[in-house]
Structure 1
Amino acid sequence: MFKPVSLLIGLRYTRAKRRNHFISFISLTSILGLTLGVAVLITVLSVMNGFDRELKNRILGMIPHATISSREPIQDWKNLAEFAKRNPQVLAAAPVTQLQCMLTANGQVSGAMITGIEPEYERKVSIIAGNMKAGKLEQLRADEYGIVLGSGLAGNLGVGLGDKVTLVLPEAALTPAGVIPRFKRMTVVGVFQVGADVDGILAYVHVSDAGKLLRIGSAVQGVRLKLKDLFEAPRISNEMLYDLPANYYETNWTQTHGNLFSAIQMEKAMMGLLLMLIVAVAAFNIVSSLVMVVTDKKADIAILRTLGASPQTITRIFMVQGAVIGLFGTLAGVLLGIILSLNITSAVTWLEHVTGQSFFDAYFVNYLPSELEWSDVLWVSLSTGLLSFLATIYPARKAARVQPAEALRYE
């Protein structure tokens, strides 16, 4: 089988055992540096993708993509919901009423964001129905004053299904005994868990009960929207206001969690850049390795030149050798990075179990997520391969400039 001379000799140099063990050591460290750099880069990008996914699926699965609200109670919210669903970007709409309060039980007190919902409609706009840890969302019924708590909130209060909690509203009522806060006893009919910080702050009641607590009767504050493209939320919600009375206004997820999403995107970009610089340092170790090889192989280069090899052939020989080192290191790094990305979640969970420490309580998710994207693997591989190729140019051209007479003078 025919092989170009430069490819044949370059591959032979790569496989051959070198007389200078230090050169072999430098080549090995170049490969290991590339392997570790590529593996760490792929793993970190996968972790950042995981945080991005959790933000979209968990946090943004629980909070509204956008909400059309009114400064006055909305009596006929179904007409507003039908109006919103005429927009092709709106997948579903549901009534919503929100109030902030304190929940107390068993001598414990926790602040909570109470959301009044209609269970039949809510399952179309959020993921709560599929993340019920105990009870069912449908057990929220009008005038029964049931409440569904997040698992973190239920744990803080020490309550479960069937237990009573006291809801304390942030307003006072004038009674014969004086001015006292307004209280309402609620029955826990469900507990949800999505594995995010919303578990510790959110609770749900029936929209009718929320209206009575706010003294607006059967009216609601607004309509929550689920959109096809959540990044279009500001534009779509603003466009709807053009056809609504002046007392309507919009809110969307970018106002509440937009900074978190932007921070994740920026961190991903910066971490990718910094780790790519580390990969670049490892790739340019190939330069020092090949320069030493060229010095070691001057006699061989001179012999090849006297046998008729052109400077271009010599250049290609050492470019092949450097490219093989880069290719081997890149492939090993990609393989290691894929393995780490697919297993880092379970590995960190096992480490938390062994040490008894929770490393992610301060984050919006309570575990280390990871999502491997093949587009990241592709651009990391191509970038590393390009850097490795560029690193071979200078040593290869240096080899091509070796003069046979000078190299053989002292042989």
Structure 2
Amino acid sequence: MFLSDPALGILMLVLFIVFLMLGFPIAFTLMALGVGFGYVTRGDTVFQLFVQRTYSVMANDVLISIPLFLFMGYVVERANILDRLFRSIQLAAGWVPGSLAVATLITCAMFATATGIVGAVVTLMGLLAFPAMLRAGYDTRLAAGVVCAGGCLGILIPPSVMLILYGATAGVSVVKLYAAAFLPGLMLAGLYTAYVIIIAMIFPSRAPKLPPQERAGSVFEVAWALATSFFPLAVLISAVLGAIVFGLATPSEAAAVGALGAVLLALAYRSFSVDKMKESVFLTARASAMVCWLFVGSAVFSAVFALLGGQQVVENFVLSLNLSPVGFLLLTQAIIFVLGWPLEWTEIIVIFLPIFLPLLDNFGIDPIFFGVLVGLNLQTSFLSPPVAMAPFYLKGVAPKHVTIDQIFAGVMPFLAIVILSMALLYLFPEIALWLPSALYG
């Protein structure tokens, strides 16, 4: 053998990046490289390792909640509950400057707590809220930025699927992660909303007020709209999150109740059918299978990478830089920011984060805090050009006269707000750590 084991480990990582750029399926590429390099260096024992890692992934109780939360989200999406929600919030926010944009952000934040499916939220709001803002005379760039940024909130706001995957990868409590991500998620949504209101006040032409005929005629109309559309979904989401955060149920148990509640809510609105149920089940199975195979591939790849000493090479290199904790955080977040251009957040979480996680103890960084910071950072992977997925989702459903350049220009201020949020979290870690500390000690 011409190369040492650590050199083979680094070669394996480099080959994965090359195959990734060539468009090979990620999960099966990970498995093939892991088994191939493992067989060359360790012989038949790699097959035992493959079986053990596959079983440990499939037996992970934390991952059971993923298909249940996905099913809950797909049911809410397919049952057209979002239309009712947007209309009720629009009526309630009619007096606020930039009311349509504010209603869009609040709807996105609400829908984010029902589903972490970014593409679905951006697409649905692109069909529902984006044309409404354009008809009302909103600046195209502002309207596009609102839809794209609001649609990405589901990555961070609980019950985020990303946090479940991070918890399973890092071996930390998903319950504490949910508690830690709650205030940063509200902070980001609040900063988005504040920005829109300020723009509407300074430049009224970019976000005109709604004409009187499109506002609520009375307080009773607003109350009825909220009672029939906003509060039922809010109660369902609050019950699911409350049961998790206050320790009344595990994430899997709460997700099961949430899935059942979403079906009952859809039936109550008479907007569900057998065909929509089949679609929701199929989409849930497809997304869950992708996540599970990705997790298996990552587990095999990471195990062989560590056995070859590749992990130790990375750790020694980072430690040789003599970074401070802040320097380490800046380095890791910069790498994650760049990885967000070609990769989905799932690949970043299960493939590249395990390389950084063992180093957290060396720098005295709380893995809960690190996970929330990663969740904020991953907002940028969906917003930052040139491979930002949220603008492309919106472009797919936007009117033909709306260009991708206009959408990219619209998301840039919101990208700056995400970076501001990360800076605030750096400066005031209590934003993430106070609630889990207060609840769990």
**Higher alpha-carbon Rg:** 1
Relative to the length of structure 1, the TM-score reads 0.27
Name the structure where helix makes up a greater proportion of residues: 2
TM-score under structure 2 normalisation? 0.26
